[in-house]
Structure formats: C-alpha cells, structure tokens
Amino acid sequence: MQVFHHIRSMREALSEVRREGKRIGLVATMGNLHAAHLALVRQAQATCDCVVVSIFVNRLQFGLNEDWDKYPRTLNEDTAKLAAIGCDFLFCPEETEMYPNGMDGQTRVIVPTMTDILCGASRPGHFEGVTTVVAKLFNIIEPDEAVFGIKDFQQLAVIRRMVEDLRFPVQITAGEIVRAEDGLALSSRNSFLDEDERPRASQLYKSLRWVEAQILEGRRDYMTLADEAAEQLEAAGFKVDYMSIRHSRTLMPAAHDDREVTILGAMYTRGARLIDNISMQVPAGTLEE
C-alpha cells in the first residue's frame, strides 16, 4: 500500500492508474478504523480495481464544544489494518494541505436541503463541513465510485444530493451497518462509552427495532411512536437528541401513506453522541384507517 500526504503526489499516482483504464474507488474516513470501515473498503474492492482510503479529521465539520481535539488519532494502527486487507492507496493530508488559506476564509459547499434537521439541528454547520471536505476529496481523487456507511443516513442523503446538484461523475454506494453482537452500531465514538454505559447503549438499536415492529403491526401514529421510543432511551439513562420517522428519500416527516420510511435516533451518553437508523418498507394493506 502506498501512503500519500500531499495532493500533488496523490494525483500523480492516480493519473497512472487512470491511464491504465482502472476503476477507482474512494472510502473517506476520519481514521480510528474499525470493522465497519474495513467492510466499506472491502465493498469498494469488490467493484473497483483500485481503492483509495482517506484519513482526515476534518475540523470544519465539528461544532463548538464538540470533540475534534479528543477524536482518536490512530494513524499507525489504521495504516496496518488497511495494508493487511490489500488497500491500494492511503491519503492522509495535513490540515494545511486541505485548507491552504485557513479555515475562516475557506470556500464552502452548502446543500440547502436536508441539512437543518435531525443531526443538522443539533450540530449547526456540521453538514457544511462534510460537503465541503467531500467535494474536495472528489476533486482530488476523482473516484468512479465512493462508498459511505448507511449508519450516517442523513450524511449519505446529503452527499447524494450534492453529487446530483453539482453533477459530480461519481457513483455513491451505501455500505450496510456493521453491529456488535448486542446490536450496537460500530462507531469510533463507542470508545468514549463508560463501562457501565456500554451494556445499555444497545437500547438505541432496540428502540429502533421496537418502532419497526410497531409499524409492521399497523401503527401509523409516527410522532407518538417516536416519543415512546425516546422514553425508552431516557428510561435506560440516556439523553435523547432525537427520535424520528422520516421518508427515506426526502427525509421529510413520514406521512400516513409513505411506503419507504427510515427510523432515525440519536442520543447522548456521558462521553459520546451515538446515532443509528433502520430503513423499512411499509407493507401494502397494513395501513391503519
């Protein structure tokens, strides 16, 4: 595996790959890699001839009082994990390489829809930071395909909208959620869980599954369902950011007759903010009158 810290050398290497007619895949990360990240890399390897993984802890997507300064930096371990699964290129630039004119005057990419709800409501400016850095990576790497985890469902939807609006010639592929045995979605922030919180943290997934079961049984009182699921999280000792049932493609609040819905939840532990979601098809003929 070749490791690059500078845009120029990364582009030069990829130019040779492109001349050979190879399909290039991208997996964008902030490092501290775990099994879910590696699953995204393997998914990209299945459809691409050459895979680039980026590691960049993007300060622009962290808000005030968020955990940018304590976000785990584990580059040596990450490099070893990627090399072990046959990743082709690792791109890990410094902040000055990605933001040469500093953060304050940085040109930004803004998606005006789907960014001020759910995670965007509690993390103002977050998605602006995400779309800006992802647009930069698309410009630097010029991938044919980019794989993003579906655990960050809203992020995936926003990136797809940006790609459509800006006509980026890249296929956006969703990678399934990888879970621990108790259902907790794997996340770099799981390392911030206290020992007494970890056994209870799977309640987020359990509550999402409970909502799914209620919908399959015919309930369509979506706001009440979300409130009841939030109460379950509070009873488990967590502070709820949101619990919501949305149309899977537009992220608008789910309507009574919607067939594709996604149940999304976010909660705070003492040291972390965790998110999760479940998408489902509402079966025909079960609509509550």
CA distance 219 to 217: 6
pLDDT of residue 63: 80
CA distance 200 to 22: 46
Residues in a beta bridge with 185: 179
CATH class of the domain whose range is 2-175: alpha beta
pLDDT of residue 71: 87
Helix (H, G, I), strand (E, B) or coil at 282: coil
Question: Where does the pLDDT of residue 92 fall: very low under 50, low under 70, confident under 90, or very high at 90 and above?
Answer: very high
Question: Where does the pLDDT of residue 289 fall: very low under 50, low under 70, confident under 90, or very high at 90 and above?
Answer: very low
The long-range contacts involving 245-253, CB below 8 angstroms and separated by at least 24 positions, are 245/211, 245/215, 246/118, 248/279, 249/157, 250/114, 251/114, 251/117, 251/118, 251/154, 251/157, 253/222, 253/223
pTM, rounded to two decimals: 0.94
Among the options 37, 126, 247, 256, which is catalytic?
37
CATH number of 188-280: 3.30.1300.10
All CATH 3.30.1300.10 domain ranges in the chain, comma separated: 188-280
pLDDT of residue 96: 96
All CATH 3.40.50.620 domain ranges in the chain, comma separated: 2-175
**What pLDDT, in 10s, does the model give residues 120-150?**
999 999 999 999 999 999 999 999 999 999 9
Question: Could you confirm whether 37 is annotated as catalytic?
Answer: yes
pLDDT of residue 287: 47
pLDDT of residue 285: 63
**What pLDDT, in 10s, does the model give residues 54-79?**
999 999 999 866 778 888 899 999 99
pLDDT score of 288 more than 80:
no
